[in-house]
Structure 1
């Protein structure tokens, strides 16, 4: 019987959801290896957790590398936990994520719904590196750091290949202006201007297709891969084209709500972060988008849902946090006006869990699109369209 600290030699069968490698002992017991391994690799691993039915482990050494494995281009890759799949070409990473998603969905949906999955559409990132316009750094003694892989140790950074060039270049100087702690830094895709979350700087972010330029503070959440976000927003807006009253739930600063309003839709945008609501309201006023209303409300509370119900949307966008929104499926079932949902997810397994009451009531998944929003990592964004029967 294996225990913590044991070193094993295993062959990786496939990559599971959340980037873990799956291997098995001769006994058939499952071993899940932390992200950074590839299918068919022979690896030496150290057991980090011994549960009743499975083991967890971390790779110590790659004994027989996959033909897909290349040299990671980042000098900090051995220590930093930020880009565990940077050892494969970006297009290969996209293919691996599609395989991971196709493998995870039937199990997440279960026997009743797993046979009714639409064909997966895959949209790669325009850039494989240097795509992030927003990121977090840990500052110590005026220097930027990242979190170490599978630890709380800090790794000093001289560069980060995930960050766009203006932001990576400015990172050391931005860190000098900050005290010790964790901070958000950001750059404008329009001008290259950089800033930290401290201060009152507003950065321009344009949606050329919608004729909009937003002004966003670095501390307010927005999609860091702004180039691919254009495709995500277009796909979401197009999916709701036939509906005039739309609720944008967990709306942030208006990533979907403002483009929808520019198309003349009547939008109720609900978000639990007051700074994001303030930002969205300010941009709507500046852009003369009178058909969108932002509301600061906690969607975990009934009062927020009464407001949504009174609005009587025919369609809704949901973009909850990674942990999902437990109970939301049952709540949505109680809204008879709804006919279509555009569910944006950065953890689709949690999303399927939350959507099961809808599926059990006959709602169907009509469309699935994977957006490779985070190249170099196992993370992905999925747009799932659900239709009322």
Structure 2
């Protein structure tokens, strides 16, 4: 079986791939474009495999939408010339931004048709203040640690570690920390958050098993020394044990302060927050405009996180309304309590959404859900339908799971009233959407 094959690239597929065929077999190819003729290197194959996977390593006939990749480490063509795989996280970096959004629209529409049985023309919106090159938008980044203690990233579906010395998609504040100069020996992973509005950035260190506290103290000291003077306030460093869910403060504080829609939010440690610098305002504004919550209404914010959507929903209901905010993560739910303590109409409940809804007996006028990438699931869809709200809002980061859930809602009698899709992950295949559903 050859390791390199020549292919003509067809339509885009969900997940950052493009579809090609080789001797009747489907091959999902990354780092290509529709219409191109490429030499592709197989990354997953076998005579019994239902399909193969491959990376384009040489462009024989280029698409007019192809541009030079902005990041050599993520460029499949240059990586192949060095005998390496490209790092993940910028798989659309070889495509014009306008063409990226067109491809994403095609993929989203295909998922709607295939999984929800709905034909709809899709437009993917750029963030209002997106930079012309689509770089510098990530306020959060995650890295592995290579042997020798340097930050590294994985190629797609690979355990290989490739050291990096910069992250072009990350914000200036993240890059100004100069974490590539720190010896992270003793850590398995490093995550960094630099609030879009400024303020103290936070470096989260996930230690290797058996790492001594003195090693973590050394890492914290090196992080503080490496940062540029212009990196902002004192850098905070925290150790995080994901098994025990324990945070250990090494330097500064254990949380960052984010802002959106006139509210400040405390986000502790590994707590979830939108990655793109403009995403909180863009999505919260879409939710406000789409749901049109009225004073006195009863609202449920499901998978609510630290309260990004709960706070403006509470503003809209006023003190005569009620907002049930449900979040599964104990640490994030504690953040929500702190962030929303001044809103007496908000009830924060920590627990699995399906279990909380099963116990909830009150009627609901409005439901908003922002589930993880796997979607809400059939049980939650049925529970929301049983609550019979007048309107439903669905924030999603995955078109496939959204389309699947939408199909179940449609089968229960809901109709898709409006849908907005946002390009909040430029140079990747990811996108974010907000849908409003109503009963006829």
TM over 0.5: yes
The correspondence for 1:290, drawn from 326, 340, 344, is 344
Is 1:318 the equivalent of 2:318? no
Is 1:206 the equivalent of 2:262? no
The correspondence for 1:21, drawn from 3, 6, 18, is 18
Q: C-alpha offsets along residues 135-183 of structure 1, whole Å, 9 cap, x if unaligned? A: 1111344421111233111111110011101111204179546732113
CA distance in 2, matches of 1:311, 1:362: 22
User: In 2, are the aligned partners of 1:369 and 1:382 still within 8 Å (CA)?
Assistant: yes
> What residue in structure 2 maps to residue 356 of structure 1?
407
SS in 1 for 2:301: strand
Gaps (5+ residues) in structure 1?
A: none
Is 1:138 the equivalent of 2:135? no
Any residues of structure 2 matched to 1:222-261 within 5 Å, and which?
222-243=273-294, 244-261=297-314
Is 1:88 the equivalent of 2:95? yes
Is 1:344 the equivalent of 2:398? no
User: In 2, are the aligned partners of 1:144 and 1:171 still within 8 Å (CA)?
Assistant: no
User: In 1, are the aligned partners of 2:174 and 2:193 still within 8 Å (CA)?
Assistant: yes
> Once the 2 structures are TM-superposed, how far is the Cα of residue 132 of structure 1 from its aligned partner?
0.7
SS in 1 for 2:332: helix
Is 1:163 the equivalent of 2:183? no
The verdict on how the C-alpha distance between 1:83 and 1:69 changes in structure 2, with shifts beyond 3 A counting, is same
SS in 2 for 1:311: coil
The verdict on how the C-alpha distance between 1:269 and 1:178 changes in structure 2, with shifts beyond 3 A counting, is farther
> What residue in structure 1 maps to residue 244 of structure 2?
none
Q: C-alpha offsets along residues 36-56 of structure 1, whole Å, 9 cap, x if unaligned? A: 211111112244235575443
SS in 1 for 2:361: helix
Is 1:43 the equivalent of 2:33? no
User: In 2, are the aligned partners of 1:166 and 1:193 still within 8 Å (CA)?
Assistant: no
Indicate the larger mover: 197-206 or 179-188: 197-206
The correspondence for 1:10, drawn from 7, 12, 17, is 7
The correspondence for 2:330, drawn from 261, 270, 274, is 274
> What residue in structure 2 maps to residue 123 of structure 1?
125
CA distance in 2, matches of 1:59, 1:299: 42
SS in 1 for 2:45: strand
Q: CA RMSD in A?
A: 2.2
The correspondence for 2:353, drawn from 293, 299, 307, is 299
The verdict on how the C-alpha distance between 1:247 and 1:373 changes in structure 2, with shifts beyond 3 A counting, is same
SS in 2 for 1:58: strand
User: In 1, are the aligned partners of 2:115 and 2:407 still within 8 Å (CA)?
Assistant: no
SS in 2 for 1:275: helix
> Once the 2 structures are TM-superposed, how far is the Cα of residue 32 of structure 1 from its aligned partner?
2.0
User: In 2, are the aligned partners of 1:184 and 1:218 still within 8 Å (CA)?
Assistant: no
CA distance in 2, matches of 1:356, 1:256: 25
> What residue in structure 2 maps to residue 219 of structure 1?
270
> Once the 2 structures are TM-superposed, how far is the Cα of residue 290 of structure 1 from its aligned partner?
2.0
SS in 2 for 1:170: coil
Is 1:60 the equivalent of 2:57? yes
Indicate the larger mover: 136-145 or 359-368: 136-145
User: In 1, are the aligned partners of 2:266 and 2:306 still within 8 Å (CA)?
Assistant: no
Q: C-alpha offsets along residues 308-333 of structure 1, whole Å, 9 cap, x if unaligned? A: x4232211111111112322222322
The verdict on how the C-alpha distance between 1:65 and 1:215 changes in structure 2, with shifts beyond 3 A counting, is same
Is 1:153 the equivalent of 2:160? yes
Q: C-alpha offsets along residues 96-126 of structure 1, whole Å, 9 cap, x if unaligned? A: 212222233211223xxx24x3x53432032
SS in 2 for 1:101: helix
CA distance in 2, matches of 1:91, 1:290: 45
The alignment covers a number of residue pairs equal to 371
